[in-house]
Homo-oligomer: A and B are copies of this chain.
Amino acid sequence: MKEFVYQKLATTLKEKIMSNVWRENERLPSIRKLSEQYAISKISVQTALHKLEASGLIKAKPKSGYYVLSRQNKSPILDKETEIKSPCLVKVPNVFHEIMENGAAFDIYPSAKVQQNTNHIELLNRHINRAMRQQPITNSLYYDNPEGVKELQIQISEHYRSRGLFILPDEICITSGCQNSLFLALSTCCEPGDIVVIESPAFYGCLQLLQLLKLKVIELPSSSDSGIKSADLQNILDKWKVKACIVTPNFSTPTGVCISLEEKKSLIRLANTHNFTIIEDDIYGDLGFHFTPEPLKSFDTSGKVILCSSISKSLSRDLRIGWIVGGEKHSQIIHQKLVNSLATNKTIQQGLASFMAEGFYRRHLIQYRQTLIEQRDLLINSVNEHWHFPFYFTIPDGGLSIWIELEPHIHTTSIYKKALKLGIIITPGMLFSSNKTFLNCLRLSFAHKVSGQRLEALKRIGSIIEHESLL
């Protein structure tokens, strides 16, 4: 992973604070001054300062500037020490399902008007319409092959080529979205009672799958600045027979963290040595703001990685198109798909394939990433401006969300319930672990622009938290 200008500056400034060049309560130079001094753009300075603020090293005071905080304020998210627990079956509370359903949309206030640029969605629809007109008869009378439409397999294969992953179209199986891919991957690799390692915090959809499939889980701590460590995984593998490990190496939800190149290679080495399957969730892989990291799959030397992804987070949630690159499990996965749902809608695949073939997906991503950077910064500025209580958060370089940690006694499930009554939706920390590690955390998404009614919703969340912290 390359280091970006703002990252370099953040490191430099952090070192100055840690070595007491700047002391507690001291005011940092202004953005303009830092920009001149280090000869980098104001935007980059701002991003670096956000990073430091998120780590709890500095704090903005309105209309005054940034001040050094006490070292005790250093973010507990970044340093959280989670012990590794023995494998156990997952049992999530019933409210989980309801929250999962609500949280999937990544919108804190779904009844507000959507302000997003939808040129590309309209174009995509036009391509689907064209596919419908061109093949009206044959499509409706036949099921597609379970592996999907060749043209789409080709486009996905081409797309990955640009990310350093070289796979043949035939190695791809089309699915009804990434959740469906994860389902097919897990039910192909594992039998009830098998042990599966997941990141902690983890994607809640995986926790649900583990429960449904009666699999045992071990949660592997993932820090929000570097993700999981293969050394920790090695410790687990020394103790237990692990069947699979589910990992989101790039812009993992909820923290948005990426695993380094070295760690990616170490993970592959472990999978080869200990003979387990890595299920890679790459759903945020296309949403890197400054760089587009390689999938873990691109380092796979022996088919041990099953890559799962979809366009749900990057283009359309409603299309219900995802895919799976099954490696050594490819033919078993196709069989699973056949028995699970026979086939995927062919016309929609053809429409998406021609949309991609004409370069529109690539162009959409360029636009969309820019939108997301702006929306991320707006969200960060808004919470900083309107939330007047202690909290820490991550500033991701990709994906759709920030991960916020509140004071330890504040339970975000209670905040979720209160907000829901107002039509406001947050994703509480309880969703991201099978134990109670993240009860005082929440995920906030910048998939929508936090302005107008959504800004009001954000303020209301702040008031609810403030009220809760006084209880």
- Which residues on the B side are within 8 Å of A35 (C-beta)? none
- With A136-B122, A142-B105 given, is the CB distance from A320 to B341 under 8 Å? yes
A335 touches B (CB below 8 Å) = yes
Of B104, B212, B345, the contact of A143 (CB 8 Å cutoff) = B104
**B100 adjacent to A316 (CB under 8 Å):** no
A318: contacting residue among B107, B114, B140, B340, CB under 8 A = B140
* Contact, CB under 8 Å: A179 / B212: no
Q: Contact residue range for chain A?
A: 35 or more
Q: Chain B residue with minimal CB distance to A122?
A: B136
A344 at the interface (CB under 8 A from B): yes
User: Is there an interface contact between A180 and B140, defined as CB atoms closer than 8 Å?
Assistant: no
Given A137-B121, A141-B105, A318-B142, A345-B348 contact (CB < 8 Å): yes
Inter-subunit contact A177/B341 (CB<8 Å): yes
Contact bitstring A131-151, B, C-beta under 8 A = 1, else 0 = 011001111111111100000
Task: Name the one of B143, B209, B340, B347 contacting A180, with C-beta atoms under 8 angstroms.
Answer: B340
Given A114-B137, A129-B129, A183 and B145 contact (CB-CB distance below 8 Å): no
CB within 8 Å for A345 and B345 given contacts A107-B142, A318-B144: yes
In the assembled complex, how far is the CB of residue A198 from the closest CB belonging to chain B, in whole angstroms?
15
Interface assignment of A110: CB less than 8 Å from any CB of chain B: yes
> Which residue in B97, B116, B183 is a CB contact (below 8 Å) of A340?
B183
| Chain B residues, CB < 8 A from A336 | 212
Determine whether A231 belongs to the interface, using a CB cutoff of 8 Å to chain B: no
Cβ–Cβ < 8 Å partners of A316 in chain B: 139-141
Query: Is the C-beta of A48 less than 8 angstroms from some C-beta in chain B?
Result: no
Question: Roughly how many angstroms separate A172 CA and B317 CA in the complex, as a whole number?
Answer: 22
Chain B residue nearest in CB terms to A316: B140
- A193 CB to nearest B CB, Å: 10
**Which of these, B97, B133, B317, contacts A335 with CB under 8 Å?**
B97
Contact B317 A209, beta carbon cutoff 8 Å: no
Interface centre among A110, A129, A176, A342 (most CB of B within 10 A): A342
- The chain B residue sitting closest to A139, CB to CB, is B318
A192 interface residue, CB < 8 Å from B? yes
Query: Is A315's CB within 8 Å of the partner chain B?
Result: yes
Q: Does the CB pair B209–A140 fall under 8 Å?
A: no
Interface residue A343 (Cβ < 8 Å from any Cβ of B): yes
B319:A145 contact, CB within 8 angstroms: no
With the chains together, A133 CA to B340 CA distance in Å?
31
* Contact yes or no, A142 B110, CB < 8 A: yes
Q: Is B143 within 8 A of A105, CB to CB?
A: yes
Bound Cα distance from A180 to B340, whole angstroms: 5
Closest CB of chain B to A330's CB: distance in Å? 13
Contacting residues of chain A (264-283) with chain B, CB-CB under 8 angstroms: none
Determine if A118 is an interface residue (Cβ-Cβ < 8 Å): yes
Give a binary string over A397-414; 1 marks a CB under 8 Å from any B CB, 0 the rest: 000000000000000000
CB distance from A184 to the nearest CB of B (A): 9
Say how far A96's CB is from chain B's closest CB, in angstroms.
Answer: 10
CB within 8 Å of B: which residues of A?
97, 100-101, 104-105, 107, 110, 114, 116, 118, 121-122, 124-125, 128-129, 132-133, 136-146, 176-177, 179-180, 183, 187, 192, 205, 208-209, 212, 312, 315-320, 335-336, 338-348, 447-448
What are 18 A-to-B residue pairs whose CB atoms are below 8 Å? Answer: A105-B141, A105-B142, A116-B141, A118-B136, A118-B137, A121-B136, A121-B140, A140-B318, A141-B316, A143-B317, A143-B318, A176-B320, A183-B339, A208-B338, A318-B346, A318-B347, A320-B343, A345-B345
Interface pairs A-B: 10 shortest CB-CB: A140-B316, A180-B341, A139-B318, A125-B132, A176-B341, A208-B339, A121-B140, A179-B342, A320-B345, A105-B142
12 extra interface residue pairs, beta carbon distance < 8 Å, beyond A110-B142, A140-B316, A143-B318: A104-B342, A121-B140, A140-B319, A141-B317, A176-B320, A177-B341, A180-B341, A180-B342, A183-B339, A205-B342, A318-B343, A320-B341
